[in-house]
């Protein structure tokens, strides 16, 4: 097992390298460098522009700039945000809890909607319940999250006035306010994941229910509830757990939209603002960190898979 | 009746019990695919005939009729600049379809050669190509598309390119997998044995195995691309105004949610219905092109 993890980590190295090259070259595709964008806003004189370029290291050849950037990034130094002039690592750690809160909550929503509905769909296959669940999950996949968010804001925020239309409240400072602020964003972010999870759980359950050990469990007289919830579910959850870990990338991508709509000061909104403000160091850092997080989640999914299913041997 | 035959009869009964609902379910899918095709026909017609069928110009501002609610004159109301929403929704279909087609085209034209080369030649080349695809896949679609648009600047073509790039790994992997399994077939070995060159083998013997999965992926890819463009435009970094795009319209209307909720309803509905239609068609195509299910339906 340990060997497997180590080997997977080594395999990740070239991928991480390629990601860093992609991210770096993307931001250097920009016609004109970041300084000229800054200079465009206030009329800086040429001397200042040269000075800034030097300070940011933009006068050096590209491979040198890349090496310097990677070297610093490895130490957690991503440079400074051009808009706030604060270290990017500081900006990120300030926003991380916000996005984490959203990610955890939406995972919970996905799990608590997706898995039970998927099980019921499989057990009551072709019943009206199953059809409704299928239609809803198809709609959930096709519905743009921002439209869903807008409609829910209109219903619960504007018309009924049950929930705030936007804004972030730290759930640890103010549990009630935090929960109220969290409800809509987490629901919107979680339902798109749930839509996928319903289908996966349903097909995994159907597959397991056709196995012989389920027939055995029934034959020895166990009641149906025990057969489904203990014998079938335990085995059907394997692929589902993997999908949950893989959905982290989806949630992080979705955070870009959800945080923008609900005005949450998290990492997703930070990325959008950085792009709108031509804050390229920030964009670089955010894309890199997001990709690394996704890779880590993939690795975690692989490890969980082996841990949950002892039949899988890592040699 | 002995024990075994009892068991067999029960098994047969159980299978028969599933067969009828399964068939119904499949027929429903075909129905849905029909509905999907019909919707797509309407949307395509809107996009092609936008100039003739839309009652007003999609960008002409009318200060006399700002934020008017849906009426006979303006069936979907007007926006904050007095532009007719119906006309804008109709014209929005042009952008969505264009993005869908070009982005999927970019992804296919890049992904297929990469997948073929990777699967056919294997070895180092395969390693390099697949690690690059892994790297691209690790960046969430919307984040990668945002970064590419940030680098290239906003604009319809850049958005189409960016959305297309994010889909490349999907096609490359798919084509690689089909190529790998086709490569080991006897007819490929035979072709090699009589001295056929790589291009001939790839296009004559391997290519036919690749097309079916590509068609399915492409129809589902249309909906992904349309959603991605709408997201970018909603975030204000997609196709710049005043071009009418569904995502951009939702972005503009969001500020007036309390005052003019109709601005937030119709463009979203358009995205939803279009994406759903492509998904229905894609699902049905998968069923038809998947030999097992296809035969059960009597379609093959």
- B59's CB contacts (< 8 A; 6+ apart) are B83, B242, B243, B244
From A235's Cα to the closest Cα of chain B, the distance in A is: 22
* Digit-coded pLDDT (tens) for A6-52: 888 888 899 999 999 999 888 877 665 666 666 555 555 667 777 77
Q: Give the integer Cα–Cα distance in Å for A216 and A234.
A: 16
A56-67 mean pLDDT: 80
A176-180 mean pLDDT: 89
Q: Which of A253, A283, A295 faces B142 most closely, judged by CB atoms?
A: A253
Q: Which of B148, B149, B271 faces A147 most closely, judged by CB atoms?
A: B271
Using a CB-CB distance cutoff of 8 angstroms, which residues of chain A are in contact with residue B152?
29
Using a CB-CB distance cutoff of 8 angstroms, which residues of chain B are in contact with residue A271?
143, 146
User: Is B277 part of a structural domain of the chain?
Assistant: yes
* pLDDT number for residue B88: 92
| Closest C-alpha among A81, A74, A98 to residue A292 | A74
State phi, psi for B2 to the nearest 5 degrees.
Answer: -80, 175
Residues within 8 A of B (CB atoms), A 131-160 only: 138-139, 141-147, 150-151, 153-154, 158
* Digit-coded pLDDT (tens) for A141-157: 889 999 999 999 999 98
Over 90: is that where the pLDDT of A83 sits?
Answer: no
Q: Give the integer Cα–Cα distance in Å for B266 and B86.
A: 8
Q: Which residue does chain A place closest to B232, by CA atoms?
A: A257
* Digit-coded pLDDT (tens) for A162-171: 988 888 888 8
| Sequential DSSP letters for A196-243 | HHHHHHHHHHHHHHTSHHHHHHHHTT--HHHIIIIIIHHHHHHHHHHH
User: Is B267 part of a structural domain of the chain?
Assistant: yes
Using a CB-CB distance cutoff of 8 angstroms, which residues of chain A are in contact with residue B18?
125
DSSP state letter for B81: T
Decide if the complex's ipTM is over 0.85.
yes
Q: Which of B21, B261, B275 faces A142 most closely, judged by CB atoms?
A: B275
User: Is B9 part of a structural domain of the chain?
Assistant: no
B141 to A22: CB separation less than 8 angstroms, yes or no = no
Q: Which domain holds residue B241?
A: 88-293
User: Is B144 part of a structural domain of the chain?
Assistant: yes
Using a CB-CB distance cutoff of 8 angstroms, which residues of chain A are in contact with residue B134?
15, 18
Ramachandran class of A79: left when φ > 0, alpha when ψ lies in -120 to 50, beta otherwise: left
* pLDDT number for residue B297: 40
> CA B179: distance to chain centroid?
23
Mean pLDDT, chain A, whole residue set: 85
User: Is B79 part of a structural domain of the chain?
Assistant: no
How many domains is chain B built from? 1
> CA A48: distance to chain centroid?
40
Q: Which of A144, A165, A287 faces B272 most closely, judged by CB atoms?
A: A144
Touching check for B218 and chain A: CB below 8 Å? Answer: no
For an interface test with A, give the residue of B28, B135, B136, B236 to mutate (most A CBs within 10 A): B135
Touching check for A82 and chain B: CB below 8 Å? Answer: no
A26 to B271: CB separation less than 8 angstroms, yes or no = no
- Residue ranges of chain B with pLDDT lower than 50? 1, 292-300
Touching check for A272 and chain B: CB below 8 Å? Answer: yes
Looking at residue B100, which CATH number applies to its domain? Answer: 1.10.3720.10
User: Is B14 part of a structural domain of the chain?
Assistant: no
* pLDDT number for residue B27: 64
User: Is B263 part of a structural domain of the chain?
Assistant: yes
* pLDDT number for residue B299: 36
* pLDDT number for residue B79: 82
User: Is B49 part of a structural domain of the chain?
Assistant: no
For an interface test with A, give the residue of B24, B147, B153 to mutate (most A CBs within 10 A): B147
* pLDDT number for residue B21: 61
From A100's Cα to the closest Cα of chain B, the distance in A is: 17
* Digit-coded pLDDT (tens) for A103-120: 999 999 999 999 999 998
* pLDDT number for residue A147: 94
From A13's Cα to the closest Cα of chain B, the distance in A is: 10
* pLDDT number for residue B3: 57
| Closest C-alpha among B283, B89, B170, B134 to residue A141 | B283
Touching check for A198 and chain B: CB below 8 Å? Answer: no
A154 to B276: CB separation less than 8 angstroms, yes or no = no
Over 50: is that where the pLDDT of A195 sits?
Answer: yes
DSSP state letter for B184: T
């Amino acid at each position: 097992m340990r060997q497997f993890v180590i080997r997977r980590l080594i395999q990740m190295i070239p991928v991480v390298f390629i990601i860093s090259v992609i991210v770096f070259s993307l931001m250097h595709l920009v016609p004109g460098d970041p300084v000229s964008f800054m200079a465009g806003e206030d009329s800086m004189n040429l001397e200042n522009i040269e000075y800034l370029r030097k300070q940011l290291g933009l006068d050096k050849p590209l491979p040198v700039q890349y090496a310097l950037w990677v070297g610093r990034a490895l130490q957690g130094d991503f440079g400074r945000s051009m808009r706030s002039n604060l270290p990017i690592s500081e900006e990120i750690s300030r926003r991380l809890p916000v996005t984490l809160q959203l990610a955890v909550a939406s995972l919970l929503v996905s799990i608590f909607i997706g898995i039970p509905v998927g099980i019921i769909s499989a057990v009551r296959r072709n019943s009206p319940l199953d059809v409704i669940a299928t239609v809803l999950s198809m709609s959930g996949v096709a519905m743009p999250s921002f439209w869903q968010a807008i409609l829910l804001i209109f219903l619960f925020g504007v018309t009924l006035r049950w929930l705030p239309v936007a804004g972030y409240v730290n759930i640890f400072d103010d549990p009630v306010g935090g929960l109220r602020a969290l409800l809509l964003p987490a629901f919107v972010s979680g339902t798109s994941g749930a839509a996928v999870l319903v289908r996966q759980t349903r097909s995994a359950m159907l597959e397991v229910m056709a196995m012989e050990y389920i027939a055995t469990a029934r034959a020895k007289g166990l009641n149906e509830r025990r057969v489904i919830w203990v014998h079938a579910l335990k085995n059907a959850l394997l692929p589902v757990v993997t999908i949950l870990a893989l959905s982290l990338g989806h949630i992080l991508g979705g955070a870009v939209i959800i945080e923008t709509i609900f005005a949450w000061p998290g990492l997703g909104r930070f990325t959008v603002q950085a792009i709108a403000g031509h804050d390229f160091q920030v964009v670089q850092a955010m894309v890199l960190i997001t990709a690394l997080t996704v890779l880590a989640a993939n690795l975690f999914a692989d490890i969980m898979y082996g841990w949950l299913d002892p039949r899988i041997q890592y040699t | 009746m002995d024990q075994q035959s009892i068991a067999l009869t029960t098994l047969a009964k159980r299978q028969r019990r599933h067969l009828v609902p399964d068939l119904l379910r499949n027929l429903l899918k075909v129905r849905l695919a029909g509905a999907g095709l019909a919707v797509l026909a309407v949307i395509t017609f809107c996009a092609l005939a936008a100039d003739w069928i839309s009652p007003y110009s999609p960008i002409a501002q009318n200060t006399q009729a700002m934020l008017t609610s849906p009426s006979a004159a303006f069936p979907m109301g007007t926006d904050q600049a007095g532009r007719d929403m119906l006309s804008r929704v109709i014209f929005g279909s042009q952008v969505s379809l264009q993005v869908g087609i070009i982005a999927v085209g970019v992804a296919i034209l890049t992904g297929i050669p990469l997948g073929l080369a990777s699967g056919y030649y294997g070895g180092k080349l395969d390693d390099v190509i697949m690690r690059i695809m892994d790297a691209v896949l690790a960046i969430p679609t919307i984040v990668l598309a945002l970064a590419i648009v940030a680098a290239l600047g906003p604009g319809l073509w850049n958005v189409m390119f960016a959305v297309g790039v994010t889909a490349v790994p999907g096609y490359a992997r798919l084509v690689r997998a089909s190529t790998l399994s086709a490569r080991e077939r006897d007819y490929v070995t035979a072709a090699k044995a009589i001295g056929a060159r790589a291009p001939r083998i790839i296009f004559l013997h391997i290519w036919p195995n690749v097309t079916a999965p590509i068609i399915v992926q492409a129809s589902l890819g249309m909906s992904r691309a349309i959603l991605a463009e709408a997201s970018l435009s909603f975030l204000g970094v997609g196709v710049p105004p005043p071009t009418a795009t569904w995502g951009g319209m939702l972005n503009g209307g969001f500020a007036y949610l309390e005052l003019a909720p109709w601005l937030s309803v119709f463009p979203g509905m358009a995205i939803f219905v279009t994406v759903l239609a492509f998904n229905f068609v894609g699902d049905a195509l998968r069923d038809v092109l998947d030999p097992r299910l296809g035969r059960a339906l009597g379609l093959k």
